[in-house]
Amino acid sequence: MKLFGNGTASQRIEMLKNIPVFRELSRKEILEVDLLLHERTYEKDELIFEEGDAGHGIFIIVSGKVRAKSSHKLIEVAVPEFGPGDLLGELALFDEAPRAATAVAMERTLTVALFQAEFSSLIAKNKNIGVKVLLEISKTMSRRTRRLLLQEKSLPCV
Amino acid sequence: MKEFPQPGAITLLVNIAVTCLLLFLFQKIIWLVVPVLLALVVYYCLRPIVDALVVRGLAHNTAAKSVWLLLQLATAAMALAVVLLVAAKATTWQSSFDRYLAGGENLLRHTAESLEKVVSAFKKMGLASQLDQRAQQFTDQFAQKHLVPIALLLLKWLPSLLLVPYIVYFMLSDSTQMKKYVIKSVPNAFFERALLLFSRLDASLQNYFLGLLMLTLLDTVSLALGLAVLGIRSALWLGLAAAVLAWIPYLGSAAGCVLVVLIAATDFPDKAWMAYACLSLCLIVRLLDDFVYMPQTVGRKLHFHPLLSVLMFLLGATVAGATGLILALPLFGVISVIGEAVSQIVTDHKLIARYKAARQLAALRI
């Protein structure tokens, strides 16, 4: 018996399946991950997180657009926008360093957040899911790092 | 629970006030509070087993259901064993109970007589005869005055206690959703901080309850070993009973000690030193508990100033009687952690400013 249902399971699975970081997960695995995802909606111009904040998790954009601002020149140049499926603040999953940029919603934006401590416990409990999700996050991170190193501007990085 | 810094004076006063208010309210719905608290303890003790099953490949729901089912079977088996044991040994226990009460009475008389020999003022007061008279009255009227009310009280609590397994079930299977539901009500500005504090609180509570279990185990082993060396019968069961009683702050330890001394005094009526040896053993285990076991097990347990502990006891007793006496300290501990967490959030000016800005943006949209 579910006391705290939130939309039908198939709708949620469909929504999450469209997010690149979860695309390799099976239906059952997505349901496990869904238990840990926190849905947040941000109004236009609302701050999602601020540069210098302690980061405790990642945000994945489901719909809407997000702009990143930073005092770090390289990020400012490389950045500009994040759209549906993009990850925000992924470095917080691996260390507790302060956020390198400020993320602001450019329009009404729906995100799902994955908290670092919950993600760690998920990896411990279900290595299969952990490997698949981490691999997708690593791909994004390596793409962003390469583009930063090569000073390419087509992919954002925070 | 030590990750949180010491609270300021205002936070402390607010925590005390909230604790008193909750104790007052809890007293009115004590039939619900006790099963919820017990369920919370059981939940935190069972959760690591559910997690271990999930690691071994079971889906979370299946693991939760399996552990809950095992708990039900174990409880049913234990209840059946207790009923059968009571039915078979009721008469023996009644006579043993009378014997141990008489043993306690003897010990009291001997101690009073010894004191009279040393202190003449006690002799003038007639301490031994007075104590003897009172103890006689107590033992004579014990069955009529206390046994029936205790039995009625147990019957009254039975329906309430039957709620425990159901609450545990929902905690095991739906705790993540419950947490999501609570976090959902937190404004965006405080979201990450609230998640972090929630997670710390959850981990601290789990450490606390598991630590308490480990502490009970260590207390049981220490007492049982000591009692076995002294030659007391059923040393293990006696140690376990005293260790479990110690869960009730201060009063429980005293009750456990009285139990052990009473049995020693009865089983060895001619060896008064045996009762004193048992008393010393209880005190030594208490010291070990405070200075060795507790820092090793419930290391992160909240440590209050002794004056504050006494104050909370008195306030608890005044506001909610016996219930307040038992619940005051644990409840104050939980309220202190939550209070500190909330004060950290609401006093962060940056987060408050962000929250106000977000509210303005939401109002503009409407």
- Residue B188 DSSP label: G
- Cα separation, B156 vs B151, in Å, equals 9
Per-residue confidence (pLDDT) for residue B303, from 0 to 100: 61
Phi, psi of B285 (to 5 degrees): -65, -35
Residue type, B252: G
Question: Residues A98, A101, A107, A111: is their CA dihedral positive or negative?
Answer: negative
> Which of B192, B202, B344, B364 has the most A C-beta neighbours within 10 Å, making it the best mutation to test the interface with A?
B192
Residue A99 lies in a domain: yes
Per-residue confidence (pLDDT) for residue B301, from 0 to 100: 53
Band the pLDDT of B4: cuts 50, 70, 90: very low
Q: Which of A4, A43, A125 sits opposite B361 (nearest CB)?
A: A43
Nearest CA in chain A to B52: A125
What residues pair up with A37 in beta bridges, in sequence order? A114
- Cα separation, B365 vs B121, in Å, equals 85
Tally the domains of chain B. Answer: 1
Other beta carbons within 10 angstroms of residue B320's beta carbon come to 23
Contact B192 A47 (CB under 8 A): no
Per-residue confidence (pLDDT) for residue A157, from 0 to 100: 46
Asked whether B174 and A2 are in contact (CB, 8 A), the reply is yes
CA atoms within 13 A on the CB side of B186: 23
* A28 min Cα distance to partner chain B (Å): 9
A40 part of contact set with chain B, CB < 8 Å: yes
Band the pLDDT of B205: cuts 50, 70, 90: confident
Tell me the average pLDDT of chain B.
82
Q: pLDDT, tens digit, for every residue of B155-190? A: 778 888 888 888 999 999 888 888 888 888 889 988
- For the entire predicted model, the pTM comes to 0.74
Q: pLDDT, tens digit, for every residue of B46-85? A: 988 998 888 887 888 889 999 999 989 998 998 899 888 8
* A81 min Cα distance to partner chain B (Å): 20
- Cα separation, A123 vs B60, in Å, equals 14
Question: Quick check: B37 pLDDT over 50?
Answer: yes
Per-residue confidence (pLDDT) for residue A152, from 0 to 100: 58
Percent of chain B predicted with pLDDT > 70: 92
* A151 min Cα distance to partner chain B (Å): 31
- The tokens for B240 are 């376990």
Residue A69 lies in a domain: yes
Find chain A residues with C-beta within 8 A of B193's C-beta.
56
Per-residue confidence (pLDDT) for residue A42, from 0 to 100: 93
- Cα separation, B109 vs B103, in Å, equals 10
Band the pLDDT of B252: cuts 50, 70, 90: confident
Contact B191 A113 (CB under 8 A): yes
Per-residue confidence (pLDDT) for residue B168, from 0 to 100: 92
- Residue B243: name the closest of B310, B294, B199 by CA: B294
Find chain B residues with C-beta within 8 A of A4's C-beta.
174, 177-178, 180-181
- Residue B44: name the closest of B183, B158, B211 by CA: B211
Band the pLDDT of B314: cuts 50, 70, 90: confident
Contact B192 A46 (CB under 8 A): no
- Cα separation, B188 vs B243, in Å, equals 46
Per-residue confidence (pLDDT) for residue B302, from 0 to 100: 56
Residue A158 lies in a domain: no
- Cα separation, B23 vs B277, in Å, equals 39
Question: Residues B5, B11, B17, B21: is their CA dihedral positive or negative?
Answer: negative
Per-residue confidence (pLDDT) for residue A76, from 0 to 100: 66
Per-residue confidence (pLDDT) for residue A109, from 0 to 100: 94
What's the domain range around B45? 9-365
Percent of chain B predicted with pLDDT > 90: 14
What's the domain range around A49? 9-149
Tally the domains of chain A. Answer: 1
Question: Residues B323, B325, B329, B335: is their CA dihedral positive or negative?
Answer: positive
DSSP reduced 3-state for A26: coil
Interface confidence (ipTM) of the complex = 0.82
Q: Which of B176, B195, B354 sits opposite A35 (nearest CB)?
A: B176
Nearest CA in chain A to B358: A46
Residue A154 lies in a domain: no
- Residues 50..79 of A with a Cβ closer than 8 Å to B: which? 50, 53-57
> Which of B50, B51, B188 has the most A C-beta neighbours within 10 Å, making it the best mutation to test the interface with A?
B188
The residue ranges of chain A whose pLDDT is under 50 are 1-5, 155, 157-158
∠ CA(A72), CA(A78), CA(A79), 5° rounding?
Answer: 85
B361 part of contact set with chain A, CB < 8 Å: yes
Find chain B residues with C-beta within 8 A of A38's C-beta.
180, 183-184, 191, 195
∠ CA(B243), CA(B157), CA(B100), 5° rounding?
Answer: 45
Name the residue with higher pLDDT: B253 or A2: B253
Query: Domain containing A94 — which CATH number?
Result: 2.60.120.10
B61 part of contact set with chain A, CB < 8 Å: no
